Amino acid sequence: MKYLKRLISFVIISILLLNFVFCGTKGIFYEVRSDYGKAYILGSIHYGTPDLYPLDPLIEKVFIETEALVVELDITDSQNIFKTQSYLSRRGIYKKGDSIENYLDSESVGYLKKLLGEENFEQIKIFKPWVLLLQISSSVLNSASDMRYGIDFYFLNRAKKLNKKIIPLETVEEQLDAFSEIPEEDQLNILKTILQGLKQEEHSKNDLSLLLDAYKNGDEEKLLNFLMKDREKKEYKIFYEHIFYRRNFKFAERIKRLLGEYKSLFIVVGAGHLIGENNVIKLLESEGFLGSKIF
Q: Cite the DSSP H helix spans in the chain.
A: 2-22, 57-65, 78-91, 106-116, 118-124, 129-142, 151-161, 172-180, 184-201, 205-216, 220-228, 234-240, 246-258, 280-286
16 located within any domain:
no
29 located within any domain:
yes
* pTM of the predicted protein model: 0.87
Q: Does the pLDDT of residue 13 top 60, yes or no?
A: no
256 located within any domain:
no
1 located within any domain:
no
The DSSP 8-state label assigned to residue 218 in this structure reads: T
Average pLDDT of the residues in 195-217: 75
Q: Using DSSP bridges, classify how beta strands 290-293 and 264-270 pair: parallel, antiparallel or unpaired.
A: unpaired
- 25 DSSP β-pair partners: 55
Q: Does the pLDDT of residue 22 top 90, yes or no?
A: no
DSSP three-state, residue 291: strand
211 located within any domain:
yes
69 located within any domain:
yes
DSSP three-state, residue 25: strand
97 located within any domain:
yes
Check residue 201 and give its pLDDT: 59
pLDDT digits (tens, 9 = 90+) for 86-106: 999 999 999 999 999 999 999
Total number of domains in the chain? 1
Q: How far apart are CA 198 and CA 293, in angstroms?
A: 35
- CA dihedral 56→61→66→69, nearest 10 degrees, is 40
10 located within any domain:
no
Give the number of other CB atoms < 10 A from CB of residue 193: 16
Structural domain including 159 reads 25-247+262-293
Report DSSP letters for 234-289, one per residue.
HHHHHHHIIIIIHHHHHHHHHHHHHTTT-SEEEEEEEGGGGSSTT-HHHHHHHTT-
